[in-house]
Structure 1
């Protein structure tokens, strides 16, 4: 019997990836999680507007959008763990991999706790938030509803990533589609605009809830005293910088802290 079975495809060629061509310095350092998200969301919207009639390009933009949303959760949670003593208490016994400890500086070691987390799933967003901070985002109706809509986005993203857009039976069922075969994830520009709104709503509602929950807990536990001391004001300002948009932070100029501390200062003066 001949061993010549024919050649079904073109011959492979040796390839050696130069990783240095695939990376650049991170220009997002120093921005709050919400600012980073909003800035890059605008860029994605502009990009999609330039390719309105190219559904394959819009599908790629969808991947970028979910990645951007995931990145928000990575930044905000690592920043909370870096600053919030109430979260420190919860995470004190968690192990950190040596590779992460070696890679990150001491000031950024909190990132190691979110390295292995997956945030392209609405369930794990709430579970990881509870595990790392002790706060239950499902206590917020707004966040809960936003996570429900984001779940649909994650299903579309899963199909786009793992099967070049082809929607499988399980995914189709989860989306409420019945007796549908051979369909592709191919969002129109208008649909992508709606998806952007869904991701933005999730980030904004989550960010607002976590800010209020963190500050309330810090006050209840005595980590924030609202006594108008320089150290207390500085700590509050650091927490604000984690959650607040830069423009709103500048506009506030310490006003929220003064409002919160005024009753205590007045009571102490009596």
Structure 2
């Protein structure tokens, strides 16, 4: 069969507008430098999600459905960032976790970027925490802590897992729900396409669920690491003495404690660092 002669017409341009010729954007202008704030991971989460709740008014959800669904994606993203900040800080504080993590790999790009500080955060940059399994697996592999069905955060992690299916549809499919997403969401089979539909009340539900998860895991991990500080760190750190005991506990305290909850009177048992330390050490 003879090859078809080359066409001289522009018939291939009949399907869409031509691609415009554009200059390469200066992408470094798409980011800005944040002013450093010494906040615990949970207070960073509270600060950012409070901003989302302030912007996500009933009118915003009613009038801007195409944009409002992205608040759910942002909510899941800030929850992920809590875990990334929490894990990187614990890796810096806990000597046993440092030993556990010493054989783990880090991406070269993370090491190059973070060489001037916060290298421990680079250990988790290539991880996705938009999955309960990934969170549970990371806590086990890096910190030797098991989260299972008997753990208080476990059911909340399963709920977060489902929320992340909505996030996946929003970010990767223009809000259209795929088969995997639909199965996780327990949606009945339907021949028609389905799209994520978030109103003000549903966003408030999702926000409360993420807050409950972060508070639950924050409390659970603080209990476990404080007991580890009391029982195991003395034998793992050379030169352990009273001054070092206080210093290491204060590091944990600053990493876990919510100054916002304290100021708002939301703590179930308000204690100072010294009072809490004494209660943990008491027989």
> Please, what TM-score do these two structures have when normalized by structure 1?
0.89
Tell me, yes or no, if the aligned pair for 2:69 and 2:170 is still in contact at 8 Å: yes
Tell me, yes or no, if the aligned pair for 2:96 and 2:233 is still in contact at 8 Å: no
Give, in angstroms, the shift of residue 258 of structure 1: 2.4
Cα distance in 2 for residues equivalent to 1:70 and 1:175: 20
Cα distance in 2 for residues equivalent to 1:20 and 1:77: 28
2:151 aligned with 1:141, yes or no? Answer: yes
Give, in angstroms, the shift of residue 23 of structure 1: 0.9
Identify, as 1 or 2, the structure richer in helix: 1
Change (3 A) 1:193 1:256: same
2:131 aligned with 1:121, yes or no? Answer: yes
2:214 aligned with 1:203, yes or no? Answer: yes
Cα distance in 1 for residues equivalent to 2:187 and 2:74: 25
Say which of 16, 19, 23 aligns to 1:9.
Answer: 16
- Alignment partner, residue 3 of structure 2: none
2:235 aligned with 1:216, yes or no? Answer: no
Tell me, yes or no, if the aligned pair for 1:82 and 1:107 is still in contact at 8 Å: no
- Alignment partner, residue 258 of structure 2: 245
Cα distance in 2 for residues equivalent to 1:103 and 1:37: 24
Give, in angstroms, the shift of residue 165 of structure 1: 0.4
Note the aligned Cα RMSD (angstroms). 2.3
What do the CA deviations read for 1:220-246 (whole angstroms, capped 9, x no partner)? 214389x98222111101111111112
- 3-state SS of the aligned residue for 2:186? coil
Tell me, yes or no, if the aligned pair for 1:86 and 1:218 is still in contact at 8 Å: no
2:198 aligned with 1:187, yes or no? Answer: yes
Tell me, yes or no, if the aligned pair for 1:44 and 1:65 is still in contact at 8 Å: yes
Give, in angstroms, the shift of residue 98 of structure 1: 3.0
Give the count of matched residue pairs.
262
Change (3 A) 1:4 1:98: closer
Tell me, yes or no, if the aligned pair for 1:56 and 1:186 is still in contact at 8 Å: no
Say which of 27, 34, 47 aligns to 2:35.
Answer: 27
Q: Which runs of 5+ in 2 are unaligned?
A: 1-6, 264-269
Q: Which runs of 5+ in 1 are unaligned?
A: 264-270
